[in-house]
Amino acid sequence: MQRTKAPFRADEVGSLLRPPRIKEARARLEKGEITAADLRKAEDMEIEKVVHRQASTGLKLATDGEFRRSWWHFDFLAKLTGCELFHPDEGIQFAGVQTRHDAIRVTGKLDFPADHPMLDHFKFLKRQCDIAHVTAKMTIPSPAVLHFRGGRKLISKEVYPDLEVFFEDLGKTYRKAVKAFYDAGCRYLQFDDTVWAYLCSQDELRKSRERGDNPDGLQEIYARIINYAISERPADMVITTHVCRGNFRSTWISSGGYEPVAETMLAGTNYDGYFLEYDSDRAGGFEPLRYLPKGNKIVVVGVITSKTGALEKKDDIKRRLEEAAKFVPLEQLALSPQCGFASTEEGNILSEEEQWAKLKLAVDVANEVWGK
C-alpha cells in the first residue's frame, strides 16, 4: 500500500539542480550588481516554481531544493552559535576532484539560535507546500557531521577541553533545533549524514586516525547524540536520515558496505526512516538491512542514481526492490534517488530534465509496486 505519512513510497533526498536564474543572481551579487534582497526574490520565485514541479511530478512531498544554500551542510552549521566558516588550505578530497576550500570550526559554546536563518527558509517552503498540497520536507546536516570531518583539531580546546562536554552540548543544540523547526510547522525533518558511510570505509577510518582522532566507539557516541536530539519530538513529527557516500559534481568519497554500522544505525538509532544509497557496488549488498527492526521504520532504497542522467529501467529497479525485500518486508521499503542532485551549488553532471525524469521514474515504479 501507499503511505500517507513520510517517508513516502516515492521520496527524494533533498537537493535539486540550481536553476539558471539563481546561478546568475548569485554571480551578480558577488560582482555587486544586485543586493541580497534581489537574490532572495530570485530564490523565492524559483522555490515557488520547484515546489509545484515536484507536486506535478507526483511526489507527496517537496523540498526547497536547498536553493538558498551553497553547501548541503556548511550553511546550516555556520549559523549555529559557537561555529564559524573558515577557509583552510585544502578542500574536501573526492574521487579525482577537490571542493572549494571551506570548512567549519567550533570557536565557542554550542547553541541553536532563535534567529537561525533556515527557520525562515522553512516557513517560506511550508507556505508554498500548503498551496501545492504536499508535505514540506526540511533537510539539515546530522550532528555527527560537525565532529567527524574536522575532529578534535577543529574544536576549540579552550572552550571544550573535554570532548564529552562538547558531545553533550551538541545533543542539546540539536534537540533545540528539532523543537524550533517543529514550532515553525515542520513535520518532516531529515538529518543528512556522511559519517555512517565514512565509518564503513577503511580509507576514511585511516584518515581519521591520521588527523589524531580515534574512530573506535564513535558509532555509539553518535547514536547517543542523535537519540537525545530527537527524543522529545512530538508524535506527529517524522525524522529520517540520509546516509551519503559523498556527492560533489557526480563524484564520491567513501566505499564499503553497511555491515560495520548497520546494527547500531538501523536498530540503535530512533529515526523513523533511513535513506540508503544503493546505486553502485560501493554500497555492498542488502544483507545489512536484516538489522532493521520489524515495525514502523522504513528503509528508502536509493537504487536510482543522481550522479548521471542515464535513466534506469523499471524492471531493474523492481528487481532490486525484490532483492531488498529478502531482508526487509516490502511494506517497510520505499524508493528514491540515491542522493540529492546538487549537494553543493555546482550540482551533479546531468540536465534538469534528466533530474525530473529520475523523480518521475521513482513515482511511477512506486505506484506499480505499492499501488496508487
Residue 192 pLDDT exceeds 60: yes
Stretch among 205-209, 330-334, 364-368 having the lowest mean pLDDT: 205-209
Please tell me the distance from the alpha carbon of residue 269 to that of residue 277, in angstroms, as a whole number. Answer: 18
Mean of per-residue pLDDT scores for the chain? 92
Query: Is there a contact between 99 and 70 (Cβ–Cβ < 8 Å)?
Result: no
Query: Is there a contact between 303 and 295 (Cβ–Cβ < 8 Å)?
Result: no
Name the 3-class secondary structure at 348: coil
pLDDT for 300-318, tens place per residue? 999 999 988 899 999 999 9
- Three cell numbers at 74? 556548511
Region 204-212: what's the mean pLDDT?
Answer: 84
- Three cell numbers at 245? 557516500
Residue 97 pLDDT exceeds 90: no
| pLDDT at residue 248 in the model | 46
Query: Is there a contact between 276 and 258 (Cβ–Cβ < 8 Å)?
Result: yes
Please tell me the distance from the alpha carbon of residue 332 to that of residue 275, in angstroms, as a whole number. Answer: 12
Please tell me the distance from the alpha carbon of residue 358 to that of residue 367, in angstroms, as a whole number. Answer: 14
Please tell me the distance from the alpha carbon of residue 209 to that of residue 44, in angstroms, as a whole number. Answer: 43
Residue labelled with grid coordinates 517524522: 238
Please tell me the distance from the alpha carbon of residue 353 to that of residue 357, in angstroms, as a whole number. Answer: 6
| pLDDT at residue 131 in the model | 98
- Three cell numbers at 128? 508554498
Q: Which domains, ranges and CATH numbers included, belong to the chain?
A: 20-370 (3.20.20.210)
Residue 345 pLDDT exceeds 90: no
Residue 184 pLDDT exceeds 90: yes
Residue 264 Cα distances to 197, 216, 291, 299, 330, angstroms: 13, 13, 9, 15, 22
Residue of higher predicted confidence among 325 and 202 = 325
Name which of 151, 66, 139, 138 is nearest 103 in CA terms.
Answer: 151
Residue 195 pLDDT exceeds 80: yes
Region 19-25: what's the mean pLDDT?
Answer: 95
pLDDT for 25-66, tens place per residue? 999 999 999 999 999 999 999 999 999 999 999 999 999 999
* DSSP letters spanning 235-248: TT-EEEEEE-S--B
Region 273-287: what's the mean pLDDT?
Answer: 87
Residue 96 pLDDT exceeds 60: no
Percentage with pLDDT > 70 across the chain:
93
Residue 189 Cα distances to 22, 164, 174, 254, angstroms: 25, 26, 12, 25
Residues 6+ apart with CB under 8 A from 32: none
- Three cell numbers at 269? 538509532
> Cis bond leading into 215, ω under 30°?
no
**CB burial readout 22-31, b (16+ within 10 A) else e:** beebbeeeee
Region 94-107: what's the mean pLDDT?
Answer: 69
Burial of 37 (0-12, 13-18, 19+ CB in 10 A): exposed
Residue 253 pLDDT exceeds 60: no
Helix axes of 36-57 and 352-370: crossing angle, nearest 10 degrees: 40
| pLDDT at residue 94 in the model | 41
| pLDDT at residue 151 in the model | 86
Region 151-174: what's the mean pLDDT?
Answer: 96
Element (H, E) at 62: strand 61-62
Please tell me the distance from the alpha carbon of residue 189 to that of residue 167, in angstroms, as a whole number. Answer: 21
* pLDDT classification of 101: cutoffs 50, 70, 90: low
| pLDDT at residue 307 in the model | 85
For residue 105, count other CB atoms closer than 10 A to its CB. 18
Strands 188-193, 333-337: parallel, antiparallel or unpaired by DSSP?
Answer: unpaired
Please tell me the distance from the alpha carbon of residue 239 to that of residue 7, in angstroms, as a whole number. Answer: 9
Residue 100 pLDDT exceeds 80: no
* pLDDT classification of 252: cutoffs 50, 70, 90: very low
Residue 91 pLDDT exceeds 80: no
Bridge partners for 301 per DSSP: 276, 335
Residue 295 pLDDT exceeds 80: yes
- Three cell numbers at 119? 527557520
Reported pTM:
0.93
pLDDT for 102-159, tens place per residue? 889 999 999 999 999 999 999 999 999 999 999 999 999 999 999 987 889 999 999 9
| pLDDT at residue 347 in the model | 77
Residue 88 pLDDT exceeds 70: no
